[in-house]
Amino acid sequence: MKNALSKDGWIITKDPLTIEYEEIQVYADMAATKLFAAERDTRKIAVEVKSFISPSPVRDLELALGQYIIYRSFLKLTDPNRQVYLAIREEVFNSFFQLKAIQTIIEQNQIFLIVIDTTNEVTMQWIN
């Protein structure tokens, strides 16, 4: 995942990213920044990488969704310019994430996705 983001022009700034709010401390897998010259702006993201390899992809989604919502909530308070993304393998996106029920969950919870081809280490899609 890191190599795919780097190839896409992102600079990994923290691995892992510590997110602190009040007495709670959590860790997203990484933080990255990218300079968009046309906009003269720097974009910052937090990335949580999930493999979805357990026998129950629904359980994997439950865990990933919980982490995502916690990270997004804390970052809105501590680093509001940083957007949270869930990074998943292309195979998982093309199978499990195409199920209507899963698409509904992703849409209702406004989950941003990065779809990665892990074989070639390239970013396939950014879904906001």
Q: How do beta strands 17-21 and 24-28 pair?
A: antiparallel
| Residue 33 belongs to domain with CATH number | 3.40.1350.10
Number of domains in the chain: 1
Going by pLDDT thresholds of 50, 70 and 90, the confidence category of residue 42 is confident
Going by pLDDT thresholds of 50, 70 and 90, the confidence category of residue 94 is very high
Q: What is the pLDDT of residue 38?
A: 60
| CA distances, 56 to each of 9, 52, 60 (Å) | 34, 8, 6
Domain holding 60, by residue range, is 2-127
Look at residue 81 and tell me whether its pLDDT is greater than 60: yes
Residues 6+ away with beta carbon under 8 Å from 123 = 4, 5, 7, 8, 114, 115, 116, 117
Q: What is the pLDDT of residue 35?
A: 77
